[in-house]
């Protein structure tokens, strides 16, 4: 039976990436060595990480005022590493709280300085993006989460602000075209749109660094990682290589323009199906619905459990909602083919007609 992988992360990878990475586990680039056993400072791996860094900047159309790092710890580590590098004890940072990850981010930041939550959608159960806010003129930066994996919301217009803009793009990075130069710092766990779990990509405008007085441990200091070319300590070699293969696949498939076109097609099909079947309902404000993670429900919880059981039987993997939200969640990352969404919507129609 064919499996349709809607996991929210770690998530589906392109078949070509799976093939190439599996071959590299046996032998990498005719070296006689596995990718798992090459030295991270050898020319073999340095070429990998340099190409990956270059592709990130190319896809984002960023100049040399930005640096790209591949770091351990995933995006969650950045909840504290960002303020550690950017926020002094007597300074204030602005945060938008549009879901669980934004909440975690501002709570971690509060350990390093003052935090002002300038916008929140908690009042309506995080079912929309609060766009009505002002950023204090003395704020060191504004932090947003561009896509909320758990709640199913997404920024479709990036805020224009007069302070450095910081973004957690873990679940929608490389899924659409945008002016990435609006951001002073972007971070993302790789395991949704750009590779396997185990590495975090960070894109930073270098001129925002070095402004705080607090000592920073070397391993947490972005400047030290820039100086070392992401090789300050042993990086997650295999995860970086899978990220490189995925970045190549994005470029070869048509770049961010094609990723966006495909994303719109898949999400439009799913949301149209939800909206036309009375058994299903999506509580998210239409203008803020995520193209990456559709979160929806059935009014009859018994029917919902029955539908989820049917999904398992039909090879629909990873569609149960997040534990704190419940319902149904369908993740539609870059590598998910349209045919999987077609199969899922056909199943919804079949179930609704019974």
pLDDT at residue number 204: 98
Q: What confidence tens digit (pLDDT) does each residue in 49-67 have?
A: 999 999 999 999 999 999 9
The Cα 182–Cα 177 span in angstroms is 13
Residues with catalytic function: 101, 168, 192
Query: Which residue has 């990682």 as its token pair?
Result: 225
Q: What is the pLDDT of residue 141?
A: 98
What 3-state class would DSSP assign to 228?
coil
Give the tokens for residue 274: 């939800």
| Helix, coil or strand: residue 67 | strand
Query: Would you tell me which CATH number, out of the four given (3.40.50.300, 3.40.640.10, 3.40.50.2300, 3.40.50.720), belongs to the domain 15-252?
Result: 3.40.640.10
pLDDT digits (tens, 9 = 90+) for 132-162: 999 999 999 999 999 999 999 999 999 999 9
Provide block-wise average pLDDT over 10 residues at a time, the chain (354 residues). Answer: 93 98 97 96 96 98 98 95 97 98 98 98 97 95 98 97 97 98 98 96 97 95 96 96 98 98 98 97 98 96 95 97 93 98 98 91
Domain spans of the chain, in order of start: 15-252, 255-353
pLDDT, residue 324, reads: 87
Q: Does the 255-353 domain belong in CATH 3.40.190.10?
A: no
For residue 354, the model assigns a pLDDT of 83
Using left for φ > 0, alpha for ψ between -120 and 50, and beta otherwise, residue 110 falls in alpha
The pLDDT score that the predictor gives to residue 292 is 98
**Residue 350 pLDDT:** 97
Q: What is the model's pLDDT at position 2?
A: 86
Residue-level pLDDT at 32: 96
Sign of CA dihedral 145, 151, 153, 159: negative
Q: How buried is residue 92: exposed, middle or buried, by Cβ count under 10 Å (0-12/13-18/19+)? A: middle
């Amino acid at each position: 039976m064919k499996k349709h992988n809607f996991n929210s992360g770690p998530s589906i990878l392109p078949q070509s990436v799976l093939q190439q990475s599996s071959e590299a586990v046996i032998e990498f680039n005719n070296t006689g060595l596995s990718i798992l056993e090459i030295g991270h400072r050898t020319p073999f791996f340095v070429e990998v990480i340099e190409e990956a860094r270059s592709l990130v900047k190319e896809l984002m159309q960023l100049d040399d005022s930005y640096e790209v790092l591949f770091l351990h710890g995933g995006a969650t580590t950045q909840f504290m590493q960002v303020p550690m590098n950017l926020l002094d004890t007597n300074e204030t940072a602005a945060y938008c709280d549009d879901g669980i990850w934004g909440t975690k981010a501002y709570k971690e930041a509060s350990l390093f300085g003052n935090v002002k939550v300038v916008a929140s959608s908690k009042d309506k159960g995080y079912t929309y993006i609060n766009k009505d806010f002002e950023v204090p003129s003395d704020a060191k930066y504004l932090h947003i989460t561009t896509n909320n994996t758990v709640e199913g919301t997404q920024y479709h217009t990036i805020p224009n602000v007069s302070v450095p803009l910081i973004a957690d793009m873990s679940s929608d990075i490389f899924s659409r075209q945008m002016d990435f130069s609006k951001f002073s710092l972007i971070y993302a766990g790789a395991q949704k749109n750009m590779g396997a779990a185990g590495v975090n990509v960070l894109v930073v405008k270098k001129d925002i660094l070095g402004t705080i007085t607090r000592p920073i441990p070397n391993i947490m200091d972005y400047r030290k990682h820039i100086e070392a070319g992401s090789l300050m300590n042993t990086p997650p070699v295999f995860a970086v290589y899978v990220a490189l293969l995925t970045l190549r696949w994005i470029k070869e498939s048509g770049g961010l323009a094609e990723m966006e076109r495909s994303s719109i097609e898949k999400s439009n099909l799913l949301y149209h199906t939800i909206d036309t079947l009375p058994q299903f309902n999506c509580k998210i404000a239409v203008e803020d619905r995520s193209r990456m993670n559709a979160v929806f429900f059935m009014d009859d919880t018994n029917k919902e459990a029955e539908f989820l059981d049917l999904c398992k039987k039909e090879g629909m993997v990873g569609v149960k909602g997040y534990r704190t939200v419940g319902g149904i969640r369908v993740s539609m990352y870059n590598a998910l083919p349209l045919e999987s969404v077609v199969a899922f919507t056909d199943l919804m129609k079949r179930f609704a007609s019974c």
